Amino acid sequence: MENIEQKLIPIYIMGKKYMVPESLTIITAMEYVGYQFKKGIGCREGFCGACATIYRIGSDYKLRTGLACQTVVQPEMYLVQIPFSPAKKPSYDIEKLKPDVSTIQEFYPETFRCVSCNTCTKACPQELEVMDYIQATIRGDFKLVVDLSFDCIMCGLCAVRCPAEMVHYNISLLVRRLYGRYLSPRSQFLPIRIKEIEDGKYDKDMEEMKHMSREELEKRYKERDLNFKIT
């Protein structure tokens, strides 16, 4: 098989210049030049948020953000890894909270300093409408907050860029918890299923599956009845 040599481009990691193949992601480029990751890396596929990165390109003034596992290197890229973003996260007992704006005012008063600059949305590697869910929080539209923030991976990049010094992902986490505990519609079938589990209806099947091989489990999963009815 023909060996095609890749073009090398200059990047800067913590201020030091390296030449790396142009097709690499930030993480693979850093590993290419000898960096070993013990933290600041997780799933490697872009959905755990552990490899948050801030960078500039050459002399461009714009400060950019991304996840190192999915962002491809560019010539004259200046990189800084952020394996952890310090953020306020107060302790609370969800059973003692009210599912309304007053709870947000108590635990995250900085939410109401939002100036709608949209910097948080621009920083989000998941392309979530972060500013929109913060504004929905202020209005008390918790269902919309849940819908807009559901795919948040809590990488911290929105908070790093926010001029109002908010921690958007912790704010939305509290809203999702409040919505799930107090406001979300309850399934009519959930109490039935819980009762069946408590009565031991599935004990025999569970015990049997514990001793199955992976192949047997996959076969049973693929052949499962998708038209079952709850009785």
CATH number (domain holding residue 35): 3.10.20.30
Distance, CA of 215 to CA of 195 (rounded, Å)? 31
Residue 67 and residue 124 in one domain: no
Distance, CA of 23 to CA of 13 (rounded, Å)? 17
Residue 61 and residue 121 in one domain: no
pLDDT digits (tens, 9 = 90+) for 126-185: 999 999 999 999 999 999 999 999 999 999 999 999 999 999 999 999 999 999 999 999
pLDDT digits (tens, 9 = 90+) for 37-73: 877 677 877 678 889 999 999 999 999 999 999 999 9
pLDDT of residue 143: 97
Is residue 137 a contact partner of residue 147, using CB atoms and an 8 Å limit? no
pLDDT of 231 strictly over 70: no
pLDDT of 34 strictly over 70: yes
Measured over the CA atoms of residue 111, residue 116, residue 121 and residue 122, the dihedral's sign is negative
The enclosing H or E element of 12 equals strand 8-13
pLDDT of residue 228: 64
Distance, CA of 85 to CA of 68 (rounded, Å)? 15
The pTM of this model reads: 0.77
Distance, CA of 213 to CA of 192 (rounded, Å)? 30
Boundary (domain end) residue, out of 81, 108, 140:
81
In a domain, 208, yes or no: no
C-alpha closest to that of 40 among 96, 87, 80, 99: 80
In a domain, 129, yes or no: yes
Six token digits for residue 51: 């490899």
Residue 138 and residue 167 in one domain: yes
Residue 59 and residue 135 in one domain: no
Residue 61 and residue 112 in one domain: no
CATH number (domain holding residue 152): 1.10.1060.10
Distance, CA of 167 to CA of 107 (rounded, Å)? 11
Query: Can you give the length of the chain in residues?
Result: 231
Q: Tell me the chain's radius of gyration from C-alpha atoms.
A: 23
In a domain, 121, yes or no: yes
Q: Fill in the DSSP letter of residue 182.
A: I
Strands across the sheet with 64-67, in order?
16-21, 8-13, 77-81, 52-57, 64-67
Residue 76 and residue 104 in one domain: no
Boundary (domain end) residue, out of 81, 102, 133:
81
Q: Name 19's bridge partners.
A: 10
Residue 161 and residue 106 in one domain: yes
Six token digits for residue 95: 């059973």
| Domain of residue 43, residue span | 8-81
pLDDT of residue 50: 87
Boundary (domain end) residue, out of 26, 52, 81:
81
